[in-house]
Structure 1
Amino acid sequence: MLDTTELALYRRLAHEQSVSRAPSLLAAVVRGGEVVWSGARGRVGDQRPDDNTQYRLGSITKTMIATAVMRLRDEGKLDLTDPLERHLPGTAFGSVTVAQLLSHTSGLTSESPGQWWERAPGADWAALVASLEKGATKLRPGFKFHYSNVGYGVLGELVARHRERPWFDVVRDEILTPLGMNRTTPHPEGAHAEGFAVHPFADVLLPEKWPDAGAMAPAGQLWSTITDLGRWTSFLGGHTGDVLSADTVDEMRTMNTVDDTEVWSTGFGLGLMVVRYQGRHLAGHTGSMPGFLAATLVDPRSGTGALCLANSTGGVGITQLCLDLLTTADDLEPALPDEWFPSTVDPELLALTGLWHWGPSPYFLRVQGDGLISLNPAVGAGRASRFRPEGPDTWIGLDGYYAGETLTVGRDADGTANHLNLATFIFSRTPYDPAAPIPGGLDEAGWR
Structure 2
Amino acid sequence: MSKDRVRVVVTGLGATTPLGGDVASTWSALLDGRSGIRTLTGDWVDSVPVKFAGLAAVDPNEVLPKPEARRLDRAEQFALIAAREAWRDAGSPEVEPERLGVVVGSGIGGITTILNAYDTFKEKGWTRLSPFTVPMLMPNGAAGWISIELGARAGAHAVASACATGAEAVGYAIEMIRSGRADVVVAGGTEAAIHPLNIASFAASRAMSTRNDEPERASRPFDRGRDGFVLGEGSGVIVLESEEHARARGARIYAVAGGVGYSADAHHITLPEQSGAGVMAAMRDALEDASLTGDDIRHVNAHATSTPAGDVLETIAISKVIGSHPLVTATKSMTGHLLGGAGGVESVFTIKALAHRIIPPTINLDDLDDGIEVEIVRDSPRPLPEGQLAAVNNSFGFGGHNVAVAFTTV
The question of a shared fold, defined as TM-score above 0.5 by the shorter chain, is answered with: no
Structure with more relative contact order (C-alpha pairs < 8 Å, separation 6 or more): 2
TM-score range, shorter chain: under 0.3
More helix by share: 2
Q: Structure 2-normalised TM-score?
A: 0.26
